[in-house]
Structure 1
Amino acid sequence: MPRMTMIEAIRDAHAVKMAEDDNVVVYGEDVGYFGGVFRCTAGLQERFGKNRCFDAPINESGIVGTAIGMAAFGLRPVVEMQFADYVYPAFDQIVSEAARLRYRSAGDFICPLVVRMPTGGGIFGGQTHSQSPEALFTHVSGLKTVVPSNPYDAKGLLIAAIEDNDPVIVLEPKRLYNGPFDGDHDKPVTPWSKHPLGEVPEGRYTVPLGQGIIRREGADLTVLAYGTMVHVAEAAAESVDIDAEVIDLRTLIPLDMPLIEASVKKTGRCLIVHEATLTSGFGAELVAVVADACFYHLEAPILRVAGWDTPYPHAQEWDYFPGQARVGGAMKRVMEG
């Protein structure tokens, strides 16, 4: 089975669906001839032509707006926001049009649209290239939101998103684009070749939307994470020698509540880790749903580890991230609770 980086897996997902379905079109800023700022669409224009993979003006609202029209009339557009930070001009189109189209038309129209965007930090991009806006999308009825943590899931989730008849937001952690790491920014990057999740099957397969997975079995503590923070949580659990069960949510909306509930009821403790700002982050929703479903099984308060409640700090990026030390310390506090 081939081993791929996340970039290669995303590129392969595009190619598989474009070869399979002529209605799949890919466009955005610099995604055609150049192949995208992170090269996720490299070679697609050469293979499938300029009518299937093409460049768009620097106009995020226009990119998403035209894609909604395409989706309503039978195409399956996949558009790329160059960075998640750039999506805000298109937010009204996503929220007011794409998310509501099926309901507003009483089912006469669907909106099989995928909006992809690199998310999070790790490249010293500062506050205009490093944001994690997932909570904004999870708040909107009619949208689905996914965050892969490895190449296998990146390909499978993207194919599932393209095949879905509703709009899907795909947030790709740029810190994982070229491989994972051991959970601490000062440590060497671990090659995918040492991690079985780097194996990516050829051809079409899907990772179902709404289905999380246990990355590390444990009996003492449940850790809920997604994207980059899955690897941080795994490394933290090893560093503090706690029998933590790490769940990779993969899809934030729809959320895999049966998996979460079963794990928390087993362990009696829960820690939530995400890179985005703490206040009103998606972790707050996770605290609420875990408390609703598992209150009488909890043996300690639910804790969150997240980014600071500040504009994204360029010079202090690695302190802003929930790292191995912060997550490991939170695990100890939950166990002492």
Structure 2
Amino acid sequence: MSLISANKKNKTNDFALGQKNITMVQAITDALDVMLERDERVMLLGEDIGKNGGVFRATDGLQKKYGEDRVVDTPLSEAGIIGTGVGLAVNGMRPVLEIQFLGFIYPAFEQIATHVTRMRMRTRGELTVPMVIRAPYGAGVRAPEIHSDSTEAYFTHMPGIKVICPSSPYDAKGLLISAMEDPDPVLFMESMRLYRSGKEEVPEGYYKEEIGKGKKVKEGKDVTVITWGAMVKTAKEAADSMENRDIECDVIDVRTLYPLDQDIIADSVQKTGRVVIVHEAHETGGVGNDILSVINKQAFMYLKAPIEKVTGFDVPVPMFSLEDHYLPSAARIQTAIHKVYSF
């Protein structure tokens, strides 16, 4: 495909037509399909994403529909995938790169830290890297070592890349489309636990959700619970159960880890004065510390109790028999909510 033709956008209808009840992985496939049809600059690259449809079948059927030039099976080289994506992006394409598991991204770390995130600054805005890196992450699916890491904080520490982590099919599709249209690089984290754990009504066709905006998934006045990804469902379960003790919780899904929606965090904390932060990543150096910083700046004087964090432990994600113990549970979150409420 020539760069001239690649820079022409198809004139498709901008309006969603109807709804369909689908899983998160189906919503991701749908978003990729929409953008492959809508924008000829969009390309997919990754290991086994073409004929096999990817390890989780997120790209199933797309190579057959759009051809091997648009949905490209790559060699087993994460550094090569990201490096190729950089070259495509600075030359006018919109590559979407699949890393089979977030824990496999480490060989490509140098490419991301040195080139992906710095190109705009290095060239004084002459070049940008409009690319999306898709990466399944997280524990709870009985995967082998390295497959279950939740190391998003490595990337939120890199100025120049946005980090998104949806918790529902609707958000996954809308945010992925936004990521594919963003002028800068995006790491799009997809919880493996959520891929097929439930369905939701999702608009057909093209729609977007704003990057950098959180979402309130439960309204309450007593305690603010802040989380993202697979932990949203667990946190809401814990918050629902606390109503039996007459404790009402605001549950905030930040959705974007960088940039954080500081307003939704501060507004909720100023209302409740009590906070529990939940994430499955290790406690030390986690994104929860960035949320603490936001609260200290914008809502410290409203606090009625010390902030509690419920996180994974500071150990590598353990193997099957201890995996559930490693993950934050509804019971652990309930204990933290009660602790801040009764302080």
> TM over 0.5, yes or no?
yes
Give the equivalent residue in structure 1 for 2:290: 285
State how 1:249-268 maps to structure 2 within 5 Å. Answer: 249-268=254-273
1:78 to 2:96 alignment:
yes
Shift of 1:179: 2.0
Q: Is the 8 A contact 2:139 2:317 kept in 1?
A: no
Equivalent AA in structure 1 for residue 84 of structure 2: T
1:276 to 2:294 alignment:
no
TM-score using structure 2 length: 0.92
Give the equivalent residue in structure 2 for 1:100: 118
Between the aligned residues of both structures, percent identity stands at 47
Give the equivalent residue in structure 1 for 2:203: 201
Give the equivalent residue in structure 2 for 1:247: 252
Name the CA distance, whole Å, in 2 between partners of 1:313 and 1:299.
Answer: 36
1:216 to 2:227 alignment:
no
1:330 to 2:336 alignment:
yes
For residue 131 of structure 2, the aligned residue among 113, 128, 141 is: 113
Name the CA distance, whole Å, in 1 between partners of 2:270 and 2:301.
Answer: 9
Shift of 1:254: 1.1
Uncovered stretches (5+) of structure 2, i.e. residues with no partner: 1-18
Q: Is the 8 A contact 1:119 1:131 kept in 2?
A: yes
Q: Is the 8 A contact 1:135 1:280 kept in 2?
A: yes
Other structure's SS at 1:132 match: coil
TM-score using structure 1 length: 0.94
Shift of 1:239: 1.6
Other structure's SS at 1:42 match: coil
Name the CA distance, whole Å, in 2 between partners of 1:238 and 1:15.
Answer: 36
Q: Is the 8 A contact 1:126 1:312 kept in 2?
A: no
Name the CA distance, whole Å, in 2 between partners of 1:240 and 1:267.
Answer: 15
For residue 139 of structure 1, the aligned residue among 125, 133, 157 is: 157
State how 1:310-321 maps to structure 2 within 5 Å. Answer: 310-314=315-319, 315-321=321-327
Poorly superposed stretches of 4+, deviation over 4 Å: none
Cα deviation 1:214-246 (Å, max 9, x = unaligned): 000010011110001111110001122220000
Name the CA distance, whole Å, in 1 between partners of 2:24 and 2:34.
Answer: 15
Name the CA distance, whole Å, in 1 between partners of 2:338 and 2:290.
Answer: 23
Q: Is the 8 A contact 1:126 1:313 kept in 2?
A: no
Give the equivalent residue in structure 1 for 2:181: 163
Give the equivalent residue in structure 2 for 1:22: 40
Name the CA distance, whole Å, in 2 between partners of 1:149 and 1:139.
Answer: 22
Aligned CA RMSD, in angstroms, stands at 0.8
Name the CA distance, whole Å, in 1 between partners of 2:301 and 2:156.
Answer: 27
Equivalent AA in structure 2 for residue 318 of structure 1: D
Q: Is the 8 A contact 1:33 1:54 kept in 2?
A: no
Name the CA distance, whole Å, in 2 between partners of 1:113 and 1:230.
Answer: 27
Shift of 1:206: 0.6
Name the CA distance, whole Å, in 1 between partners of 2:73 and 2:286.
Answer: 33
Name the CA distance, whole Å, in 2 between partners of 1:290 and 1:126.
Answer: 36
Name the CA distance, whole Å, in 2 between partners of 1:53 and 1:79.
Answer: 10
Equivalent AA in structure 2 for residue 328 of structure 1: Q
Shift of 1:311: 1.3
Q: Is the 8 A contact 1:222 1:267 kept in 2?
A: yes
